[in-house]
Chain A
Amino acid sequence: MKLTGAQALIKSLEMEGTEVMFGLPGGAILPVYDPLIDSSIRHILVRHEQGAGHMAEGFAHATGRPGVAMVTSGPAATNIVTPLCDAYMDSVPIVVITGQVPYTVIGTDAFQECDTVGITMPVTKHNWLVTDPQDIPRIVREAFHVATTGRPGPVLVDVPKDVSNQMMDWYWPDSVDMPGYKPNVKGHPKQIKDAARLMAEAERPVIYAGGGILKARAADALRQLAELIGAPVVTTLMARGAFPDDHPQCLGMPGMHGNYTSVTSMQKADLLIALGSRFDDRVTGKVGSFAPGAKVIHVDIDPAELGKVRRPDVPIVGDCRLVIQELVKAVESEKHKRDWPDLDPWWHQLREWQERYPLHYEQLEDGPLKPQFCIDMLRDHTPDDTIVVAGVGQHQMWTSQRWKFNHPYTYVNSGGLGTMGFAVPASIGAKVGMPDRMVWAIDGDGCFQMTAQELVTASAERIPVKIGILNNAYLGMVRQWQELFYEERYSEVYLSPDLPDYVKWAEAMGCVGFRVDTPEDVEPTIEKANSIDDRPVVVDFRVDYKEKVYPMVPAGGSNDDIILDPAHDKPGGR
């Protein structure tokens, strides 16, 4: 069967099971948009290429399947660099197709030419420039394989216009042959035994669960292991929901804005069981004083993560789900051999911390609306399996702290790169992937203004996402740092609560817009928003700009120097 390169590309995407893609056409990708008309793939036309990338990420986060985005060359390709980097940092499987100027004119500074492969090399797991239409099925197959296996990540396929137009003989490769790419998924049996032995000796163990748990679909396995060894579990920003917040062993989020018990449990632990986590600086604080008394078991599919920041006592390369299942077996046999250590004193200590240093805020009846109160009300008036999407900043941290993530794949946010503007497009992608679930984006006013135009996409495509803006009229997290560390010298952080008028803006984009100024309006407005299912809703929560995120470990500081909210004394003084 003779096909054009463009037809082969679309057919290859279909063969990979692509049901939906996010994109925006342009000159160099024109040939590929033509056969798309006859394809079963649903295409969602975005308003900015960055939106396409984040939608693909949101889709992938929520479904576990690779998100696909397609844009043209030059400025379109550079616009999608941010989502690629975001996906690279958070190991999100997305496949991005870019158009390129004809192969014959590459290197001549042609119109809308840029070195897409060169620019995206550091922010993709791998990328390809197609030079022969005959290679298209093989490359697409390889691209999906690389994106979704091993440590998942973004890939990019750059397709010159003439390659799309040339003819090829259709085939579909039945396997992938990549000699330089063989992820190791099975943990080493000896290491697994050693790990089980360390667990059997630990008196103050902590399971440090990271995003790898979700990527490996290992939430069930994690629960099994945690219940078997009885250790507390901290779930990082990228792992919220990987272990249910309503489980008695769950301590919640560690790190810079983690709760006191979670942060301190790691500091005092004698064993850290790091599963699919990467000792990110936002978790460790100052590395030299992080968990000083702990031995470390580190499980990761990416060998380069083992020993990158902290040298593990037992490194295990492998898929989290498979390794945890093996660990469960090893622990069971270890349990037959000896008495398991008594973790009661440890739990007693943890419970005491939880009681003494809970998360705290105060909503006065006639006082300003508190952002935490809005999140609590949203949490309590939405279904348990609501997918929550956040941008980056204070609202993201409050959401992570206060929401009860009882199911995996219910929190979508930008962790590693910290991309403001992530929430609106990512929530659209999540809703497309999970149309039967309620999707709420909790966004900041600064974040919202970066990518709000994608609500036009959502209205046009009837994707009923709900956006709650915690509008404090500031770039709140930056303001917080300026208040605490720059002597309240506020430099370029004020945004105004009324400019833009978020309700009018929402309406102009085909959404329903609400404004909430007082605590008593919060719940009825949420109920109204929840009842709307035929178009997007935007709620402008006017919240107290003075509210700060606590606890906080100052950047570069030790986790021992955690700052609590003013209502709670710092243990041992400061």
Chain B
Amino acid sequence: MANGDAQHHILSVLVENKFGVLSRVAGLFSRRGYNIFSLAVSPTEDERFSRMTVVVDAETAPLEQVTKQLNKLIPVIKITELAASDAVERELMLTTVRAGSESRSQVTELAAIFEAKIVDVGYEAMTLMIAGTPDKLDAITDLLTPFGIVELQRTGRIALSKLARQPTKLRAVRDREA
């Protein structure tokens, strides 16, 4: 799957954990003609709120309009746009790959390289679990394809902004100025 980040924006949307919120957000996207590329929703550390990680297809609408319209939804508390460079993104994938006796060791080897877990093994196939950046999942998917992918499921990405860390050099400068 092509996953050029150039056409995608990641929005981390903090919403009230109330009934119907997903429908409000999804409805807004459809009626304004914006495309959702992927969507992950889960509760946060504070049970009053949920976090939605929405990957928006940026070619369908200017990001500014999307966030402004989203902000008008009353259960939406906060929207953060996460640029790939200053966010930590992860995605989880489960995939069942053909792995009969002749190819099982090769698949296992690939799994080891990508730090995938083997979560189920059958006579002719095995199921792998891989967590990582979307690029990494794309890469292993490409490499597994020749063996025959029986089923594949990705969660859609979740993301948090990177923690601010002040470089030591700057801190030295700041101290001197003080």
User: Which residues in A have some Cβ–Cβ distance to B below 8 Å?
Assistant: 117-118, 121-122, 125-126, 129, 146, 178-181, 302-304, 307-308
Residues on B with C-beta less than 8 A from A121 are 20, 23-24, 27
Contact between A118 and B64 (Cβ–Cβ < 8 Å)? no
Which 10 pairs of residues, A with B, have the shortest CB-CB distance?
A304-B68, A126-B74, A180-B77, A181-B74, A180-B74, A122-B31, A303-B68, A304-B69, A180-B76, A180-B75
Residues on B with C-beta less than 8 A from A146 are 74
Max chain B C-beta neighbours (<10 A), residue from A118, A129, A178, A179: A179
Residues on A with C-beta less than 8 A from B74 are 125-126, 146, 178, 180-181
A179-B16, A304-B65 given; 5 more Cβ-contact pairs under 8 Å: A122-B27, A180-B15, A180-B74, A304-B72, A307-B65
Q: Bound state CA distance, A303 and B31, in angstroms?
A: 19
Contact between B16 and A180 (Cβ–Cβ < 8 Å)? yes
Q: What's the least CB distance linking B78 to chain A, in Å?
A: 8
Residues on B with C-beta less than 8 A from A307 are 62, 64-65
Residues on B with C-beta less than 8 A from A122 are 27, 31
Contact between B19 and A129 (Cβ–Cβ < 8 Å)? yes
Q: Bound state CA distance, A226 and B5, in angstroms?
A: 48
A-B contacts, CB under 8 A, total: 37
Q: What's the least CB distance linking B11 to chain A, in Å?
A: 15
Residues on A with C-beta less than 8 A from B62 are 307
Residues on A with C-beta less than 8 A from B31 are 122
Residues on A with C-beta less than 8 A from B71 are 303-304
23 interchain pairs, CB-CB under 8 A: A118-B23, A121-B20, A121-B24, A125-B74, A126-B74, A129-B19, A129-B20, A146-B74, A178-B74, A179-B77, A180-B16, A180-B73, A180-B75, A180-B77, A181-B74, A303-B68, A303-B71, A304-B65, A304-B68, A304-B69, A304-B71, A307-B62, A307-B65
Q: Which residue of B lies closest to A118 (CB)?
A: B23
User: Which residues in B have some Cβ–Cβ distance to A below 8 Å?
Assistant: 15-16, 19-20, 23-24, 27, 31, 62, 64-65, 68-69, 71-77
Residues on B with C-beta less than 8 A from A302 are 72
Q: Which residue of A lies closest to B66 (CB)?
A: A304
Q: Bound state CA distance, A9 and B54, in angstroms?
A: 38
Q: What's the least CB distance linking A42 to chain B, in Å?
A: 30
Q: Bound state CA distance, A498 and B109, in angstroms?
A: 87
Residues on B with C-beta less than 8 A from A179 are 16, 77
Q: Bound state CA distance, A179 and B16, in angstroms?
A: 9
Q: Bound state CA distance, A29 and B36, in angstroms?
A: 38
Q: What's the least CB distance linking B14 to chain A, in Å?
A: 9
Q: What's the least CB distance linking B61 to chain A, in Å?
A: 11
Residues on A with C-beta less than 8 A from B65 are 304, 307-308
Q: Bound state CA distance, A187 and B65, in angstroms?
A: 20
Q: Bound state CA distance, A178 and B31, in angstroms?
A: 25
Q: What's the least CB distance linking B138 to chain A, in Å?
A: 34
Q: Which residue of B lies closest to A179 (CB)?
A: B77
Q: Which residue of A lies closest to B78 (CB)?
A: A180
Q: Which residue of B lies closest to A126 (CB)?
A: B74
Residues on A with C-beta less than 8 A from B72 are 302, 304
Q: Bound state CA distance, A304 and B64, in angstroms?
A: 8
Residues on A with C-beta less than 8 A from B75 are 180
Q: Which residue of A lies closest to B16 (CB)?
A: A180
Contact between A117 and B20 (Cβ–Cβ < 8 Å)? yes
Residues on A with C-beta less than 8 A from B27 are 121-122
Residues on A with C-beta less than 8 A from B73 are 180
Q: Which residue of A lies closest to B48 (CB)?
A: A179
Q: Bound state CA distance, A179 and B20, in angstroms?
A: 17
Q: Bound state CA distance, A307 and B27, in angstroms?
A: 22
Q: Which residue of A lies closest to B15 (CB)?
A: A180
Q: Which residue of A lies closest to B31 (CB)?
A: A122
Q: What's the least CB distance linking A131 to chain B, in Å?
A: 8
Q: What's the least CB distance linking A150 to chain B, in Å?
A: 9
Q: Bound state CA distance, A146 and B73, in angstroms?
A: 11
Q: Bound state CA distance, A292 and B71, in angstroms?
A: 31
Q: Which residue of B lies closest to A123 (CB)?
A: B31
Max chain B C-beta neighbours (<10 A), residue from A117, A125, A304, A307: A304
Q: Bound state CA distance, A307 and B68, in angstroms?
A: 10
Q: What's the least CB distance linking B83 to chain A, in Å?
A: 20
Q: Bound state CA distance, A499 and B127, in angstroms?
A: 74
Q: What's the least CB distance linking A103 to chain B, in Å?
A: 12
Q: Bound state CA distance, A331 and B65, in angstroms?
A: 31
Residues on B with C-beta less than 8 A from A125 are 74
Q: Which residue of B lies closest to A150 (CB)?
A: B72
Q: What's the least CB distance linking A98 to chain B, in Å?
A: 15
Residues on A with C-beta less than 8 A from B20 are 117-118, 121, 129
